[in-house]
Structure 1
Amino acid sequence: MALSTQVRASSGSSCPWKYDVFLSFRGEDTRKGFTDYLYHELERQGIRTFRDDPQLERGTAISPELLTAIEQSRFAIVVLSPKYATSTWCLLELSKILECMEERGTILPIFYEVDPSHVRHQRGSFAEAFQEHEEKFGEGNKEVEGWRDALTKVASLAGWTSEDYRYETQLISEIVQALWSKVHPSLTVFGSSEKLFGMDSKLEEMDVLLDKEANDVRFIGIWGMGGIGKTTLAGLVYEKISHQFEVCIFLANVREVSKTTHGLVDLQKQILSQILKEENVQVWNVYSGRNMIKRCVCNKAVLLVLDDVDQSEQLENFVGEKDCFGLRSRIIITTRDRRVLVTHGVEKPYELKGINEHEALQLFSWKAFRKCEPEEDYAELCKSFVTYAGGLPLALKILGSFLKGRTPDEWNSALAKLQQTPDITVFKILKMSFDGLDEMEKKIFLDIACFRRLYSNEFMIELVDSSDPCNRITRRVLAEKSLLTISSDSQVHVHDLIHEMGCEIVRQENEESGGRSRLCLRDDIFHVFTKNTGTEAIEGILLDLAELEEADWNLEAFSKMCKLKLLYIHNLRLSVGPKCLPNALRFLSWSWYPSKSLPPCFQPEELTELSLVHSNIDHLWNGIKYLGKLKSIDLSYSINLTRTPDFTGISNLEKLILEGCTNLVKIHPSIALLKRLKIWNFRNCKSIKRLPSEVNMEFLETFDVSGCSKLKMIPEFVGQMKRLSKLRLGGTAVEKLPSSIERWSESLVELDLSGIVIREQPYSRFLKQNLIASSLGLFPRKSPHPLIPLLASLKHFSSLTELKLNDCNLFEGDIPNDIGSLSSLRSLGLRGNNFVSLPASIHLLSKLEYINVENCKRLQQLPELSAIGVLSRTDNCTALQLFPDPPDLCRITTNFSLNCVNCLSMVCNQDASYFLYAVLKRWIEIQVLSRCDMTVHMQKTHRHPSEYLKVVIPGSEIPEWFNNQSVGDSVTEKFPSDACNYSKWIGFAVCALIVPQDNPSAVPEVPHLDPDTCQILCYWSNFVTDTNLGGVGDYVKQFVSDHLWLLVLRRPLRIPENCLEVNFVFEIRRAVGNNRCMKVKKCGVRALYEHDREELISKMNQSKSSSSISLYEEAMDEQEGAMVKATPSGSGGSDDEYYSAAEE
């Protein structure tokens, strides 16, 4: 069906299908009942359906009208009822349907009150019907045999069986929903309620270029001037056809994002995240990202939109050549530069031109009057403005918005002004709106337009121009005039054309760049500072380099810039610093600032923000500077900084950020006078030993001294302190909290005490019920004293979502029994402790999604896994005796994982096969349940069973139940071939036997993995159709013995056409430099069906009574002597890493 902005194709559409669906049915069986209800529901939903007239069905010859209707239908629904085969008419229809649609795969059978196997093998009523046909036409008649073959083929297709549904309405609803998704995929106006004009004809042209039925790979380029509608068109196409592809990605603002630091890599991460369905994909550089993308898309049908590309390099790093993609892939590229498309081999770039006069009049009228036609008094004026705009949508919007609510005289005046400009160009169209601003509005507009990267939100604009009281209302005026947009979250957006218009206005101020008011282009700025051509005209300089550069500038140029109010320099290293800076500066941000201090003569009384990140500063200034408007100081990572300034003259300071100033020692006592301070960030200032003993900061929101390893005491906070929400003391030497903490603890939302030992004033007694902490960390340095006094009770932490008690020397009984009262807890870290068991109340933690008890070498028993949602890690728990009970997968709403790496005692006491069988049985039960009574519940609660389950346990043999086993790292399994089995099919169970190896030279390396960690991956695909069906991975500790990795996959919602089998391939990756790794020795797979539950119960009973259990005696000896010890807290083996890995 042709693309359109409407649900149905427009009358001018070149759609080849007259009907969406052809209904084939036996009238005697279903015409007045099921088929009639189905027909009317299809029509009601806008699905054009052909149903033959009952008067046509006479004789044995099918009418030409029906033959034509079949040929003109996109899909066919065949209702196979008990008497279907008695009608030669129906059998002739069916033969024609197969002739027209079999290759397209658009035949949808419904087995209505019949067994699919009876249809396939012509049994029961179908056998009786064919007996009559053979008596009538003769045995062995070719036409009759053809009918038999047609029934066999259609009965082998996936469809619906009426016996699977309690009510026919449920069956009809599911059929109509499936047809709707195929015939009329939902279409919005690409994330906007904006009314569109002039797009239908362009969508039809794009439909021809896309040729979605062609079995090839196509690059489609859309090029044209800025504001012509390239992004809108690409977005509409994307939303219309995305349902037809395995992977769909819309990469917006490629040009702008590519210019930022790591921009190309960030965009590659976006692509890979969509393909792999993972949030945190690691890409180390553009070259590895390019290879990863190439590998991931090589056998997938991908829809990829790259919006606003301006360099061929971007295409090379994102899409490569056509042969990188799977067949039927479509890559859509929008650009202003046609050369980018030609260079990359896009054969026929689609030039997007302006909309026609009728469409332009509609768009202009909508902006000016909020209706599709002009008001009578403005009709001729509207036509004049539409002619002037030349079909450019953005110009029409701006002009219409500008004139909205104005009188005809004002319209005539504006039109007369336009007519004075002979050259009809985009710039002058846009500049007309600029000319309508007053002088203050013009200045603010040029600031926002030229420095839009800095002015990305209203907070930054307020910070830079806080001295201007008219700022806020002026921004609203500019937004009303469509010169910028302000989102609900205060983000400010300036369109490319508007930005270019603003820059062009500035460029026209003076041929010499030093004589212009604003500089934002690299070449202009370098020219001014190398040639010393600066003048008093310059009011703002923004240099944002993507990579660190070095230069030799003549900074005497600053001496002439007496009106400079904004200076932003990023990623530039200079050997010599400035001797003077303009005192008019309001905003100063200069990373890698070269001097040891600010110039002594610098007295910026209007300065609101001072940011000298990564600077060479060792002190800001000597003595007192009175800077009453200064609100923010950021000297982060200025490693030469040794002392702070005297804060006496900057009493309005709100943010003080000195993070990473590792040599900072002296903190001026006047810091205690900063009563308006909101953010105090001294994170990782490792040389600080003391702070003022007392401060009064009633506005303080964040106090962060984490990582200040020599700091032993924090100040007493006097006053109300009702706003303090984040207190971060992790990694300090603090042993005592201030007594004043009780007065302001109610406002805390985050408390970090990681890496410290609090010996007095246990915090559990002052954290009240309303604490909504997102994280509480306790990682005391190795100490002979456990945290018993501090953990007397946890009941006051009911809103805590994350609790880490790793390496806390906790023994049996040290964890409070009321841990089950942490009703909001989602993550629990207990790694490296000495308890034997966990409190029984853990099973009450209904929201718990993650538990880590790695390296708890005395732990003998796990709690019920019904308390655990997503990821459980028990690696290296050498005393663990029994496999836990299989989890209650009914409550799991995301993908479940259980790792029991090197827990070898478990297989000494219990057969691993029994646990695997129990997990598989539980999986089948919940999948069956999800299809029945739980379906309504899940729809109401938006909770669905997990798509896969992963389990790693010790084991040396793949259970024989996996009936398809293969030596090596790959195995192949067939998809269910008949409708009966397909309806009972649940998914696949895959099991790999993974063994240690000491010669991993062939194993690929992955940067930034812990030394004792490996990555296991499994991909499933179809080699014949070159279709990638999915993949999943896991991070595991180095095995000291053979292990089994069980992967259970839920049945996919859709199987690609002609995909008859699936190939599972395993891959191991190791940390860089790791000489110990693993390999996949053997793997097995089995298709899971509902009836497998009974066999699994039998297998469980056999495993229980079996005595042939591997004891792993040698492996146990090796574990005691050679197993790599757990990573200490804070050195890269964190819970967070494992938590994210589980979701990959």
Structure 2
Amino acid sequence: MRFEDATKENKKIEAVKYDDFEDIYTKSNYDASQLCKIVSNIKKLRYLEVHIRDPTNVDVDVEVEGPAFLSNELRYFSWRPYPARSLFPDGFQPLKLVVLKLNGRFLKEVWKGCKHLPHLKVLQLRHMWKLLRTPNFDGLPCLQQLTLNGCFKLKEIHPSLGNHASLQYVSVSRCKRLRMFPTITHMKNLKNLSIEECPNILEFPKIHANMERLVELAIILTGIEVLPSSIGEHCTNLISLKLRRLTRIIEIMSRITETLSNLQELDLSWNDFSRLGFSLSQLTQLKVLDMSCCGKLLELPELPSSLTTLTADDCNSLTTFGDCHKNCRWLCDVSLVGGSNINDGDRLLESMLEACMAIENHYMLLQLQGIQMAKGFTPQLVRGNRCRLQLPENWCNEFSGFLMCGVMSHFFITIDVRLSKNEEMNGMDSQHDVCNWEDTRYTVMEYGSWMAYVSFGMLRQTAWWDQTCKALTFEAREIGGPCGGLGVRLIEKKRKSGLTETSTIYSSAGHTPYLKIEHDSPSTIKIQRHKNRMNFL
């Protein structure tokens, strides 16, 4: 709806959305002052969302008068950036407000004293440059989500937050002057707590209550050096734990590991240790481990048997995988790129493939720095991102799946693989097109190799599946860089080598596959690797 119409038909309008960023090449139609006046004339407003470009220099304070009137029927209020020093006009009773999202550089406080908003569930305060303190939370009995982001002058979070029974999600980030998080005395429903890029917070908040519903905890780039034992005593059901850039991480983890029996995701990236110094084997539910950007890491710890995903990218001192995976039954997604060459990648590959044989609809993805794996792959890789595979008779019964190998650039993000039937390659699979590994472009460190195994069990239920097919064309595309070479071969069926767990048990273990079928048609199937995290909430 046009805003001119809003002033003419203000008795009928209940929702207004204005997004000045929808077309960045078009000049703004309204300035902040006009928008405030228009909103003031809409008497039955229930939903308001305003997102406007600020034409002024960000270093110059230019504020306007806020709306002179807001409807008491308002449920949703989002305004970025909010242009006034005062939020609510006199007479406004926000008793029905459910969502409040603000972004702006003029508000020093959201409101004075304790304001009663009985239905407010979401409060987001982002880039509030002059905000000095949060509101009193006692008047917000239904609050479920609180976000404080980029409030650079924020010094105090009102202590009433620690006694809030309905909160489920709290995120505090980039509040560089904040020195303390309130003592947690009640927060029995909190599921997610994140404190990030708050370097002046030197102590973890004291916990004086049972927090058995807390499943995600993130402490990233703070001044916190010690995690109290109360975490283990009160946070017994943690599933995801992120501890990045902590100076005493080994001491911290050694103190709390024995209470983390339900942990499924552990992020220890960006820490400064050479060896972990404590065992992860007792974390019998752990599925995802991230140790990326640990530049001094010399060896990986012994991995728990439940692990499915390991990421240790940009670990420049790591040269061997060792025997850390010897007990892993489900390890299917490993990434070790951006650092040193791993000298025993072939042994790791064989171990992961063997585990894949135990599960009918399994997959595997391995990424390593350097091109050693690619150089040893048979048949030899073809230059570019396409190759052709002739299929033997009865291939779908005698083999279990496809193993693909590719050369990638170091800023690799994800892979798209397209399988097409009977597509002509015009000689692209000739001997003259195989990779020349003496070529200098393949020897520099910014190249790595990836190996992906896709089982037939993953493909049998698709429209693409056709056991009479005689040849396939494989095409790989890397988002973020070129694919320097590609090869593929069939993997023969093997016995289950002692792994008797069924795919049902595997699926119930909580692992979310990163390799997914994105397109399926009788002629072509597209498989994409997603690097998305597990979702526990």
2:427 equivalent to 1:986? no
2:312 equivalent to 1:823? no
- Which structure shows the bigger proportion of residues in helix conformation? 1
Q: What displacement does 1:552 show?
A: 6.6
Change (3 A) 1:1079 1:1021: same
Partner in structure 2 of residue 695 of structure 1: 160
2:405 equivalent to 1:1021? no
Partner in structure 1 of residue 445 of structure 2: 1040
Could you tell me which of 786, 798, 803 is aligned with 2:266? 803
Change (3 A) 1:1078 1:608: closer
1:149-197 deviation line (CA, Å, top 9, x unaligned)? xxxxxxxxxxxxxxxxxxxxxxxxxxxxxxxxxxxxxxxxxxxxxxxxx
Q: What displacement does 1:883 show?
A: 3.7
The answer on whether the counterparts of 2:210 and 2:235 sit within 8 Å (CA) in structure 1 is no
1:196-232 deviation line (CA, Å, top 9, x unaligned)? xxxxxxxxxxxxxxxxxxxxxxxxxxxxxxxxxxxxx
Secondary structure, aligned partner of 1:612: strand
Partner in structure 2 of residue 973 of structure 1: 389
Could you tell me which of 536, 540, 558 is aligned with 2:13? 540
1:79-108 deviation line (CA, Å, top 9, x unaligned)? xxxxxxxxxxxxxxxxxxxxxxxxxxxxxx
Q: What displacement does 1:811 show?
A: 3.5
2:218 equivalent to 1:745? no
Q: Distance in 2 between matches of 1:1089 and 1:879?
A: 29
1:333-385 deviation line (CA, Å, top 9, x unaligned)? xxxxxxxxxxxxxxxxxxxxxxxxxxxxxxxxxxxxxxxxxxxxxxxxxxxxx
Partner in structure 2 of residue 165 of structure 1: none
Change (3 A) 1:626 1:955: closer
Q: What displacement does 1:586 show?
A: 6.4
Secondary structure, aligned partner of 1:778: strand
Aligned partner of 1:824: which letter?
Q
Aligned partner of 2:102: which letter?
S
Partner in structure 1 of residue 516 of structure 2: none
Could you tell me which of 941, 944, 947 is aligned with 2:360? 944
Change (3 A) 1:612 1:1058: closer
Q: Distance in 2 between matches of 1:580 and 1:985?
A: 67
Change (3 A) 1:608 1:972: closer
Aligned partner of 1:686: which letter?
C
Could you tell me which of 111, 120, 124 is aligned with 1:645? 111
Secondary structure, aligned partner of 2:211: helix
Q: What does 1:544-693 align with in structure 2 at a 5 Å threshold? A: 544=17, 547=22, 575=34, 577-578=36-37, 581=40, 585=44, 587-592=46-51, 596-600=64-68, 602=69, 606-609=72-75, 611-621=77-87, 627=93, 629-632=95-98, 634-650=100-116, 652=118, 654-655=120-121, 657-667=123-133, 671=136, 673-674=138-139, 676=141, 678-679=143-144, 681-692=146-157
2:269 equivalent to 1:855? no
Aligned partner of 2:400: which letter?
I
Q: Distance in 1 between matches of 2:494 and 2:87?
A: 79
Q: What displacement does 1:584 show?
A: 5.8
2:251 equivalent to 1:788? yes
Q: Distance in 2 between matches of 1:540 and 1:609?
A: 14
2:295 equivalent to 1:836? no
Could you tell me which of 678, 683, 704 is aligned with 2:171? 704
Q: What displacement does 1:805 show?
A: 0.9
Q: What displacement does 1:729 show?
A: 1.6
Partner in structure 1 of residue 230 of structure 2: 765
Q: What displacement does 1:1012 show?
A: 3.2
Partner in structure 1 of residue 532 of structure 2: 1140
Q: Distance in 2 between matches of 1:623 and 1:1049?
A: 61
Aligned partner of 1:1050: which letter?
S
Q: Distance in 2 between matches of 1:1020 and 1:647?
A: 63
The answer on whether the counterparts of 2:113 and 2:136 sit within 8 Å (CA) in structure 1 is yes
Q: Distance in 2 between matches of 1:663 and 1:587?
A: 28
Secondary structure, aligned partner of 1:636: strand
The answer on whether the counterparts of 1:596 and 1:616 sit within 8 Å (CA) in structure 2 is no
Q: What displacement does 1:1023 show?
A: 4.1
2:205 equivalent to 1:732? no
Aligned partner of 2:531: which letter?
Y
Secondary structure, aligned partner of 2:304: helix
The answer on whether the counterparts of 1:652 and 1:676 sit within 8 Å (CA) in structure 2 is yes
Partner in structure 1 of residue 428 of structure 2: none
Partner in structure 2 of residue 1079 of structure 1: 484
Q: What displacement does 1:804 show?
A: 0.8
Q: What displacement does 1:703 show?
A: 3.1
Secondary structure, aligned partner of 2:173: coil
Change (3 A) 1:625 1:972: same
Q: Distance in 2 between matches of 1:802 and 1:680?
A: 22
Aligned partner of 2:37: which letter?
P
Secondary structure, aligned partner of 1:767: helix
Partner in structure 1 of residue 337 of structure 2: 875
Secondary structure, aligned partner of 1:1062: strand
Q: What does 1:391-406 align with in structure 2 at a 5 Å threshold? A: none
Q: Distance in 2 between matches of 1:628 and 1:1014?
A: 45
Aligned partner of 1:850: which letter?
T
> Which has the greater radius of gyration?
1
Secondary structure, aligned partner of 2:244: coil
Could you tell me which of 353, 365, 372 is aligned with 1:955? 372
Q: What displacement does 1:877 show?
A: 5.0
> Percent identity at matched positions?
12
Change (3 A) 1:1019 1:664: same
Q: Distance in 1 between matches of 2:423 and 2:36?
A: 65
Q: Distance in 2 between matches of 1:838 and 1:707?
A: 31
Q: What does 1:445-464 align with in structure 2 at a 5 Å threshold? A: none
Q: What displacement does 1:573 show?
A: 7.0
The answer on whether the counterparts of 1:976 and 1:982 sit within 8 Å (CA) in structure 2 is no
The answer on whether the counterparts of 1:721 and 1:743 sit within 8 Å (CA) in structure 2 is yes
Aligned partner of 2:387: which letter?
V
2:404 equivalent to 1:1012? no
Secondary structure, aligned partner of 1:788: helix
Q: Distance in 2 between matches of 1:543 and 1:878?
A: 54
Q: What displacement does 1:774 show?
A: 4.0
Q: What does 1:107-256 align with in structure 2 at a 5 Å threshold? A: none
Secondary structure, aligned partner of 2:128: coil
- Which structure shows the bigger proportion of residues in strand conformation? 2
Change (3 A) 1:837 1:544: same
Q: Distance in 1 between matches of 2:29 and 2:377?
A: 73
What's the TM-score, normalizing by structure 2? 0.69
2:246 equivalent to 1:775? no
Partner in structure 2 of residue 715 of structure 1: 182
1:785-836 deviation line (CA, Å, top 9, x unaligned)? 555245423121222221111122124353x32x223233221111233343
Q: Distance in 2 between matches of 1:575 and 1:1038?
A: 61
1:936-966 deviation line (CA, Å, top 9, x unaligned)? xxxxxxx63415655656328744853x875
Change (3 A) 1:640 1:633: farther
Secondary structure, aligned partner of 1:1021: strand
Q: RMSD of the TM alignment (CA)? A: 4.4
Partner in structure 1 of residue 471 of structure 2: 1061
Q: What displacement does 1:849 show?
A: 1.9
Q: What displacement does 1:968 show?
A: 5.5
Q: What displacement does 1:855 show?
A: 3.1
Of 804-813 and 983-992, more deviation after overlay is shown by: 983-992
Q: What displacement does 1:542 show?
A: 3.1
The answer on whether the counterparts of 2:264 and 2:288 sit within 8 Å (CA) in structure 1 is yes
